[in-house]
Amino acid sequence: MAGVLLNNVVKRFGDFEIIHGASLDIADGEFVVFVGPSGCGKSTLLRMIAGLEDISGGEIAIGGKTVNDVEPADRGIAMVFQSYALYPHMSVEQNLSFGLRMNGNPKADTDRRVKKAAEILHITDLMARRPRQLSGGQRQRVAIGRAIVREPQVFLFDEPLSNLDAELRVQMRVEISRLHKELGTTMIYVTHDQIEAMTLADRIVVLRGGHVEQIGRPLDLYSDPDNQFVAGFVGSPKMNFITARVLERGASGVTVELAGGTRLTQPLNGPAPEPGSKVVVGVRPEHFGHAGKGDADLSVTIDVVEHLGGTSFLYASTAAGDDIVIQRDAAEVSDAPEITVSIRKSYLFDDKGRRLR
Amino acid sequence: MRYQNATAYRFLAPYLLIFSIFWLWPIIDSFLISFQATRTVPWRFSPTFNWGRLIGDPAFFNALKNTLLILVIQVPVMITLAIVMAVLLNSPLLKARGLFRFAFFAPVVVGEVAYSAVFRLMFNLDYGIINKLLNSVGLPSIDWFSNVTPAMAVIMIAVTWRWAGYNAIILLAGLQSIPQDVYEAATLDRVSKLKQFIYITLPLLKPIIVFCAVLSIIGTMQLFTEPFLITERGGPGGGTETLGLLLYRQGFRSLNFGYASAIAYTMAGLAIAISLVQLWLTRDPK
Ligand SMILES: Nc1ncnc2c1ncn2[C@@H]1O[C@H](COP(=O)(O)OP(=O)(O)OP(=O)(O)O)[C@@H](O)[C@H]1O
Ligand SMILES: [Mg+2]
């Protein structure tokens, strides 16, 4: 069992800096998810922890021991690849036992570990098959099994579910969560799917362009994002962003005017931007209420309504042309082409995307 | 449906006709000719005339022995060399990869006559570079073309030089189709580079290795240019005469078409048989 510490980790490919100093302290047994858009450096960071990429700057420690120059196999980690990376010419049983056999592990112990992993993952019946005779979900189990057999201190997952269909993805997500409870091992999990991140993580690390944008528990990221990027990334459907202008700073906070003339006052502790400067008001789809029941009212024109059964999503636009999504109970949706909604909860961001609070 | 097929066949007819006349018919005809006594005029049907002769002909068995000897030594050596070359070509440490790839492939496009002439020169007794090299490290000159064993060696070296790169390029394509992350997984499993090669690369490359081996077997069974040009028509004294050369001698010098056809069919039969054995030996256990 071991925690993982990243201290100002930098990665350069040639002259090109990909990771610009990531620092992170992962506790023993914690489930941490790296999330971010494609190309932000999630895989690179994970592969640096694994030792598959060398570290251009900073320090990585696993279990209190600096591993910058430690061979991948000696870091006590096991990795599950997005493409599974199973040995195509070996049976499932051989795939699981290959590493142990190559290292002269006693046969009885190898058999025991393979058997245990197969039981945990319910692949006992598949042991004689080759990878190409397995479905995607079964391959994924084998790949996870191969990691379990190593009895690592830290599991690394690189988008393990992205090649699976939606239903299987949900199912495997639950399995991975169960596995974490069962083994209690530190897990670092990379995904660009924010739902996976929200459901699996003890803590989420949001990355963008090689920078750590925010680190926090899923619900903290949801309810208290540090910036516009995190606010937009976490939550589904996305948070709506409506442009606004600062009017004044009063005793109760800062008052802004939305493009349609709607005024909204927000409590503010930090410094307020100059009156007249541009800000962005963020409202989650679920934070729109009935007219008069919130901080401010907003009139919108409905473009499209999506009925999902229990809830409905209204795709609408404001007078100023901002596109917004409103979440409603299906029963409360009328046919009216124009409605007024209230903003029950909102976030304020300055013109650089930083949260004003 | 049937009508459409008929139309299709009418469009295909010119091709099928030409295919039959120039490809299918010679194959069938040469088979028939192998049952004819072609040394008499007119030819007459005599199944034992050629096939009977074949079974007891020392020249045939000499050529067969030479061909098989070249096959069992040259093909494995060349394939092994080709694998090594392919692995080196695939190494991320290699600079100027394109240049090497070209250099490895170049022998295939060099004209046969030119390359044979160069090999004759290189192995020349008095002023060949090979003997010069041997002398420079204190070894005596070898009279490459007057003795059977060195002459055979020259042929094997020449054929290997010519085709190893070609096979290496095919194997390289196979190597590059092995996903990198499989090796990464093995690295995490603490499997050394050498073991990765033995337990991952070779098994995954096996179908391609077998493919190259079968191609080489077929090619070597038909070996003709090198013994014809480099060792001067199978010299010394028939010591490097191959089946291909014997066929040429019978068919084009003695104009004994029946016997030449019988030899040709024997060569094809052997190539198929050896390739099948090869495929069977290396089949996937199921
Ligand atoms: N070997 C390399 N050489 C140069 N640049 C690289 C290399 N590997 C990755 N990069 C770059 O590093 C950046 C981060 O890549 P990385 O694979 O970590 O992204 P990611 O967050 O995992 O994206 P995805 O969600 O698409 O997998 C990308 O801009 C990529 O182009
Ligand atoms: Mg990635």
Cα of B242 to nearest chain A Cα, Å: 39
Bridge partners (DSSP) of residue A245 are A257, A278
Nearest 5°: phi and psi at A328? -140, 155
Hey, what domains does chain A have and what are their CATH numbers?
4-233 (3.40.50.300), 240-356 (2.40.50.140)
Under 8 Å CB-to-CB from B1, ≥6 apart: which residues? none
Write A4-8 long-range contacts (CB < 8 A, 24+). A4/A49, A4/A60, A4/A61, A4/A62, A4/A154, A4/A186, A4/A188, A5/A59, A5/A60, A5/A61, A5/A62, A5/A64, A6/A45, A6/A49, A6/A58, A6/A59, A6/A60, A7/A58, A7/A59, A7/A60, A7/A61, A8/A57, A8/A58, A8/A59
Mean pLDDT, all residues of chain A: 91
Could you tell me if residue B30 is inside a domain? no
* Distance, CA of B95 to CA of B86 (rounded, Å): 14
Q: B190, A103: Cβ pair inside 8 Å?
A: yes
Count: domains in chain B: 1
Q: A102, B189: Cβ pair inside 8 Å?
A: yes
Could you tell me if residue B262 is inside a domain? yes
Chain B hits for A71, CB-CB cut-off 8 Å, are 190
pLDDT tens for A5-61 read: 999 999 999 899 999 999 999 999 999 999 999 999 999 999 999 999 999 999 999
Q: Please say if the pLDDT value at position A99 is more than 90.
A: yes
Cα of A50 to nearest chain B Cα, Å: 8
**A90 closest CA partner among A145, A51, A47:** A145
Identify the residues whose C-beta falls under 6 Å from ligand 1.
Answer: A 13, 18, 36, 38-44, 192
Could you tell me if residue B34 is inside a domain? no
Cα of A188 to nearest chain B Cα, Å: 16
Q: Please say if the pLDDT value at position A283 is more than 90.
A: yes
Residue A271, pLDDT score: 82
Q: A102, B195: Cβ pair inside 8 Å?
A: yes
With CA atoms as reference, the chain A residue closest to B206 would be A89
- CA A41–ligand 2 middle distance (angstroms): 7
Q: What is the mean pLDDT of each run of 10 residues along chain B (286 residues)?
A: 82 92 91 87 85 90 94 95 93 85 88 92 91 92 91 94 93 92 93 93 92 92 92 87 93 89 92 89 75
Could you tell me if residue B49 is inside a domain? no
* A45 Cα nearest atom in ligand 1: 18
Could you tell me if residue B15 is inside a domain? no
- The domain that contains B262 carries what CATH number? 1.10.3720.10
Q: Which domain holds residue B147?
A: 57-281
Q: What is the mean pLDDT of residues A110-121?
A: 92
With CA atoms as reference, the chain A residue closest to B185 would be A85
Query: Which ipTM value was assigned to this complex?
Result: 0.82
Q: What is the mean pLDDT of residues A116-125?
A: 90
- CA B48–ligand 2 middle distance (angstroms): 71
The two beta strands, A338-343 and A355-356, are unpaired
Residue A1, pLDDT score: 65
Helix/strand/coil for A154:
strand
The CA-to-CA distance between both ends of chain A, in Å, stands at 39
Could you tell me if residue B217 is inside a domain? yes
* Distance, CA of A122 to CA of A185 (rounded, Å): 20
Chain B hits for A146, CB-CB cut-off 8 Å, are 185, 189
Nearest CB partner across the interface for B182, out of A74, A77, A87: A87
Residue A129 contacts B, CB cutoff 8 Å? no
